[in-house]
Amino acid sequence: MSDTLMPKGFRSAGVSCGLKRKGRLDLALVVADRAVPAAAVFTRNLVAAAPVHLSREHIADGRVRAVVINAGNANACTGVQGMADALATAEALAAQLGCATQDVIVCSTGVIGVPLPVDKVIAGCTDAVAALDTSGSEAVASAIMTTDTFPKRVVRTLDVAGRLITVEGIAKGSGMIRPDMATMLAVITTDAPLTSGACDTALRMACGRTFNRVTVDGDTSTNDAAVLLASGDAGGADIDEGHADYPAIASVIEQVTSELSRMIARDGEGATKLVVVTVTGAVDESDAEKAAFAVAESLLVKTALFGNDANWGRVAAAVGRSGARLAPESLAITFAGIEVCRFGGAVPFDEEEALLALKRDEVDVLIDLGVGAASATVLTCDLSYEYVRINGEYRS
């Protein structure tokens, strides 16, 4: 593992095109040396942004040459003009790269309902193409940020039959985060020789287990998208889902999306800590997920965590209304390693010790529903004054 390593066969850049204030980076470009096998998943929000509609069409053939992402404007709720702007962006970039328009994936993030200043975006594409470099990842991670406080990039490697394979993931948070079969924005690149089908299977599996189990505020975005590109430049024969080396590579892709998910939850708007909610003892995984999301999205639980208060009654109330089957008389709850509820009732605990444990920057909440063997983990964060400030004062 190294932050300087990058998958072979890709170049990238982050530039400023004038969408964000103060000349900050706001346009990111990731380009493969040629059109390569790829997959993508998108938001299930019915009010999907124009670039989501366009990119859904463009990924249909399972090949991608370039992914362009602008921050500062979501190009959502922008009607026919929004679709034209997204298409114009793809066409301009395709012309400069000498590829088919179909091979360009377009993503946008930022304020909803404002026309995209498409001239700025197209000018930015020209600048980005000129700046393409094999060390552009840090700039990409910075350029796609909205209210994020730090860039999110993860690199992992593995050895497959003597060949070094690298997987890189770049993502953004940090508000309107409750992915639903897709994710916030993420671009994952690898030089493994995955087929399009293997890309699709690996991406959907990884999203389902990681990005789709993150919630900052319960609000699924209009612009969620995750893209996986596989250059094959690490060498070797094509790897499809049935290949002996597939599981190891898919596992590393999931490690990358898992680590990005933790970063996104930790950097949730206004968050002071990462909260890991794990539900065990559920009848099935769906119940475990329901209960974990109910706790992770409960305002009462999130504010108690901000106040470092092991207020387990609020956790009990949340799982009770979650729709998950449970046995109230078997319910058990542990906060940051301290058992606070057993057999559905209070366990005496040291308030001072609990206060110290809850003040850490990562807190586990474990809930046993007492009726089965299934489990699920959902990542979230606490709810602070700063969350209200960010979202009460800023039109994002």
Report the 10 Å Cβ neighbour count for 337.
12
Q: In three state form, how does the secondary structure of 154-187 look? A: EEEEEEECCEEEEEEEEECCCCCCCCCCCCCEEE
Give the position of tokens 């850049």. Answer: 13
Tell me the closest approach of the beta carbon of residue 211 to a copy of itself, in angstroms: 15
State in angstroms the smallest separation of the CB of 351 from a copy of itself.
10
> CB of residue 312 vs a copy of itself: minimum separation in angstroms?
6
| Nearer residue to a copy of itself within complex by CB, 28 or 354 | 354
Question: Is residue 147 exposed (0-12), middle (13-18) or buried (19+ Cβ within 10 Å)?
Answer: middle
Nearest-angstrom CA–CA distance, 233 and 213: 32
For a copy of itself, the closer of residues 201 and 391 by Cβ is 391
Shortest CB 297 distance to a copy of itself, Å: 7
* Residue 76 or 86 with smaller CB distance to a copy of itself: 76
Q: Pick between residue 112 and residue 274 the one whose CB is nearest to a copy of itself.
A: 112
Tell me how many degrees the CA angle 82-36-2 measures, rounded to the nearest 5: 100
Binding site for a copy of itself (CB under 8 A): 44-48, 74, 76-79, 82, 111-115, 175-176, 178, 180, 217-222, 297-300, 303-304, 306-307, 309, 311-314, 316-321, 325-326, 328-329, 331, 341, 343-346, 383-385, 387-393, 395
215 touches 221 (CB < 8 A): no
Sorted by sequence, the CB contacts under 8 Å of residue 360 that are 6+ apart come out as: 273, 336
> Distance between CA atoms of 77 and 66, rounded to whole angstroms?
25
Other C-beta atoms within 10 Å of 351: how many? Answer: 10
- Write down the residue that tokens 């994002």 correspond to: 396
Q: DSSP letter for 308, please.
A: T
Q: How far is the CB of 205 from a copy of itself (least distance, A)?
A: 23
Q: Kindly report whether the peptide bond that precedes residue 174 is cis, defined as omega within 30 degrees of 0.
A: yes
Beta carbon of residue 273, minimum distance to a copy of itself (angstroms, whole number):
13
Whether 183 is catalytic is yes
* DSSP three-state, residue 196: helix
> Which candidate in 43, 109, 166, 183 is catalytic?
183
Nearer to a copy of itself, 1 or 346 (CB): 346
- Residue 199's CB is within 10 A of a number of other CB atoms, namely 30
**Contact status, residue 258 vs residue 251, Cβ threshold 8 Å:** no
C-beta of 159 vs 393, nearer to a copy of itself: 393
Positions annotated as catalytic residues are 183
